[in-house]
Amino acid sequence: MNPSLKLALLVLIALEISFTHVWTVNVALIVVSLILMVWGHVTFKRLAMLTLIPAFFGAALVWSLTLRGTASNHFLLVIFTRMVAYVYMGGWFAQTTNPLTLTRSLEQNAKLPSKFAYGFLAAFNLMPKIQAEVATIKAAALMRGQVLHFWSPQLYFKVILAAMNWSDQLAAAMTSHGFVEDAPRTHATEIPLVTRDWIMLVGSLVLVQIGLFVGLP
Amino acid sequence: MVTVSIHNLTFTYPQQSRPVLNAVNASFPAGQFSLITGVSGGGKSTLLKLIAGLLPTDAPGITFNDRSLTEVPATQRSKTVAMLFQEPSTQFTMDTVANELQFALENQQVPADEIPERLTAALDFIGITALRDRKLMHLSGGEQQKVALAIIVAMDSAVILLDEPFASIDPTTRLVLLQRLAQLSRERGKTVILADHDLSGYTDYVDRLTVLADGHLTHLSPEATQERLATFAPAKLRLQHVTVPADNQEALIQGTQLSLTANGRTLVTPQNLGLFAHHTTLITGPNGSGKSTLFRSLVKLGHYQGVITYDGTDINRLKRRPYARQVALMFQSAATQFLNVTVDEELTLSLKNSYADHFTPAMVTQLLTELNLADRREQIIYTLSSGQQKKLQLLCMLIMAPDVLLLDEPFKGLDYASLQTVIQILKRVQQDLDLTYILVSHQLSGLDTFIDYHLQLSDQHLTYQGVRA
């Protein structure tokens, strides 16, 4: 499916289930996302993480609400399934979408200004460097007798300084590679946006509407 | 064919009083390979960035065939001028080599059907077709620089600027890049302008040398250029006092079947290596040969194969915190090591966390005076010059007084007087606290009486130099 439409579909469904209380639809979304993730060869370890983390936080939330004793069982069920549905849908999107294809699609199909699209991509590709920098900063601080934890403000101060430096270098390099903000570009890789994508978007939305309408008390 | 002319160019950074470039006049003819040299911090990078249009300036004065860059449509500027940067890894937007080339060509609005052909031709020219679908972040610095040059070739830029492009790459890659650059200038009429402070190995490639000193540019005649390049010898190491450690000498840090690789490139083949306590060991070797990687391995920051022991214990079994107290690294980039904002705060932190009771605030004041930093205690670290940062970093690490101090290019950016002071201080502290120093340095003058052992890294092997004790 076209990445931009995929993203739009997820955002719309997420908004809808935020304002409705139909747990059957949430469960249906969980099942569909799970099937799509298995279909998309997401590893078992990833799936386990995607299940355990929302299950833990969902359970904690349900437990604390039960203690207060005002929420109905139906509400608790909705809250819990909604949380898992969010994570599963997000997981399906993140695990089956290539960032470069998404960027190209946002630029070509959704007409997002190219400076956002490619700025995001450059930052994304810098992630491994940021991780290495965090390790270096921690080690360098340790050698000054200072232990930096992931919550230490000093760590973030240093990382932000490094990132600011890189962002200047990156901006210069993008300019040097001919990138001009908001100037037209050619596209050697076209991201197709075909009728099938629209049918899938509209079809999925209609199904969710039907589910919500039928399931409403 | 584009000639770059500079008329009466003066440039001052905001909030600085002295201009970096002062009424510069120069001309870089098309089809020539020009080399700009000068001390580090002398304005070479600034000049290149100004030519590339990467620094905002109101001053006209740089023209390409009598046209200024602002007259060229923004999307076509990369056809006029492109730059290759010193830091290899932060010059790419995309994930893979092919995607980055495609990105650059799309920016130039090259028709979609011509892009694959130009992409392939550029990779062929540099000889990196095999890297086509590799991830940029997984390439070595040298390979990244080759990709950066391939992009410039694909973009067909008339003027090619290079800012110290060989600072962190190995000699073989450097030679390949130099050959391609010479070919680009001679066969394709490109204007190549390269800035470097190290003049070794340029004799066969460079047409003209330009010297940037005190904000002024001077072109040398072809004869003077050849003479200057021929007589430039990389600083020769004259160490009279180094010895090879005796075979039965107990090593403090012992590497067994130690080998180092970086991004798939072998740096050191398996060997045994001992490093000795209470002495000063100097490690030398070409750029990118693995000296910094060795240091990172010794402080558990890098990957290595084999075993490294400290005082008989495998360092993998030592906890980071206590180990950092024993073996500490003074990083090459000074800013990495600072945690606070002002000079005083930084020194207070080191005094508070120091492992030795040796240093007192009075002593620190005395040391600051010797290092010419006494009047800068309230200053923000990041506004100090690189040499001043280096001195402060050294002082902070010395106050910490770890048993073994690894120093990665501790003399970078220091003038000769500062260098002498720093060496004196290092010697004094070593005597007082019985420290072990292991250093990597390209700066070799004045080190003779300081160094006990000299390890040379060449052909992927570390060997002790000097006479047998």
Predicted local confidence at residue B19, as pLDDT = 84
Residues in A touching B91 (Cβ below 8 Å): 169-170, 173, 176-177
Interface test with B, best of A142, A144, A164, A185 (most B CBs within 10 A): A144
Which of the following is catalytic: B143, B164, B346, B409? B164
Residues in A touching B167 (Cβ below 8 Å): none
pLDDT tens-digit map of A38-83: 998 888 999 999 999 999 999 998 888 888 777 788 888 888 999 9
pLDDT tens-digit map of B170-215: 777 888 899 999 999 999 999 999 998 778 788 888 999 999 888 8
Question: Cβ B102–A141 below 8 Å, yes or no?
Answer: no
Dihedral sign, Cα of residue A151, residue A156, residue A158, residue A162: positive
In the chain, the amino acid numbered B97 is V
Answer yes or no: same fold for B4-231 and B243-468: yes
Question: Cβ B337–A144 below 8 Å, yes or no?
Answer: yes
* Contacts of A156 by beta carbon, 8 Å cutoff, 6+ apart: none
With H, G, I as helix, E, B as strand and everything else as coil, classify residue B453: strand
3-state per-residue secondary structure call for B241-307: CCEECCCCCCCCEEEEEEEEEECCEEEEEEEEEEECCCCEEEEECCCCCCHHHHHHHHCCCCCCEEE
Interface test with A, best of B51, B117, B339 (most A CBs within 10 A): B339
- Give long-range contacts, CB 8 A cutoff, 24+ apart: B166-170: B166/B196, B166/B198, B166/B287, B167/B86, B167/B287, B168/B88, B168/B141, B168/B287, B168/B288, B169/B88, B169/B140, B169/B141, B169/B142, B169/B145, B169/B287, B169/B288, B170/B142, B170/B286, B170/B287, B170/B288, B170/B289
Task: State yes or no: pLDDT of B237 exceeds 60.
Answer: no
DSSP E strand stretches across B315-389 = 327-330
Contact between A183 and B75 under an 8 Å Cβ cutoff? The reply is yes
For chain A, the domains span 3-106+191-215, 114-176
Question: Cβ B112–A188 below 8 Å, yes or no?
Answer: yes
Task: State yes or no: pLDDT of B60 exceeds 80.
Answer: no
Residues in A touching B318 (Cβ below 8 Å): none
In the chain, the amino acid numbered B359 is F
Quote the minimal CA–CA distance from B41 to chain A in Å.
Answer: 17
Predicted local confidence at residue B168, as pLDDT = 67
A65 or B56: which leads in pLDDT: A65
Residues of chain A whose pLDDT is less than 70?
Answer: 217
Predicted local confidence at residue B59, as pLDDT = 66
Interface test with A, best of B75, B80, B103 (most A CBs within 10 A): B103
Predicted complex: ipTM over 0.90? no
Task: State yes or no: pLDDT of B98 exceeds 90.
Answer: yes
Residues of A with CB under 8 A from a CB of B: 99-100, 118, 121-122, 125-126, 128-129, 135-137, 139-147, 154, 158, 161, 166, 169-170, 172-180, 183-190
Question: Cβ A145–B331 below 8 Å, yes or no?
Answer: no
Confidence of residue B40 (pLDDT cuts 50, 70, 90): low
Section B290-314 average pLDDT:
91
Question: Cβ B102–A186 below 8 Å, yes or no?
Answer: no
Look up the CATH superfamily of B4-231. Answer: P-loop containing nucleotide triphosphate hydrolases (3.40.50.300)
DSSP 8-state assignment for residue B404: E
Quote the minimal CA–CA distance from A206 to chain B in Å.
Answer: 37
Quote the minimal CA–CA distance from B350 to chain A in Å.
Answer: 6
B143 or B17: which leads in pLDDT: B143
Q: Which residue of A has its CA nearest to B83?
A: A176
Span of B114-118, B269-273, B410-414, B433-437 with lowest mean pLDDT: B410-414
Measure CB to CB from residue A125 to each of B137, B155, B339 and give the nearest one: B137
In the residue annotation, B164 being an active-site residue is answered as: yes
- Which helix (DSSP H) or strand (DSSP E) does residue A54 occupy? helix A44-68
CA distance B339 to A137: 9
How many Å is the Cα radius of gyration of chain B?
24
Nearest residue to B158 (alpha-carbon basis) of B92, B217, B222, B72: B72
CA distance B286 to B458: 8
Residues in B touching A145 (Cβ below 8 Å): 324-325, 349-350, 352-355, 400
In angstroms, the first-to-last Cα distance of chain A is 33
Beta bridge partners of B247: none
Confidence of residue B234 (pLDDT cuts 50, 70, 90): low
Most confident segment among A40-54, B16-30, B437-451: A40-54
Residues written for chain A: 217
Quote the minimal CA–CA distance from A105 to chain B in Å.
Answer: 14
Residues in B touching A103 (Cβ below 8 Å): none
Predicted local confidence at residue B4, as pLDDT = 92
Measure CB to CB from residue B339 to each of A118, A139, A154 and give the nearest one: A154
CATH node for B243-468: 3.40.50.300
Nearest residue to B332 (alpha-carbon basis) of B377, B386, B379, B403: B386
With H, G, I as helix, E, B as strand and everything else as coil, classify residue B21: strand
Task: Write down the pTM of the prediction.
Answer: 0.80
Instruction: Tell me what percent of the residues of chain B surpass a pLDDT of 90.
Output: 46
For chain B, the domains span 4-231, 243-468
Query: Please, what is the angle between helix A153-176 and helix A114-125, to 10°?
Result: 120
Measure CB to CB from residue B353 to each of A145, A154, A170 and give the nearest one: A145
Question: Cβ A129–B89 below 8 Å, yes or no?
Answer: yes
Confidence of residue B233 (pLDDT cuts 50, 70, 90): low
CA distance B400 to B394: 10
Question: Cβ B106–A187 below 8 Å, yes or no?
Answer: yes
pLDDT tens-digit map of B367-421: 999 998 888 888 888 888 778 889 999 999 999 999 999 999 888 777 778 888 9
Average pLDDT score, chain B: 88
Measured torsion, CA atoms of residues A159, A161, A165, A170, in degrees rounded to the nearest 10: 40
pLDDT tens-digit map of B111-136: 999 999 999 999 999 999 999 999 88
Residues in A touching B52 (Cβ below 8 Å): 172, 176
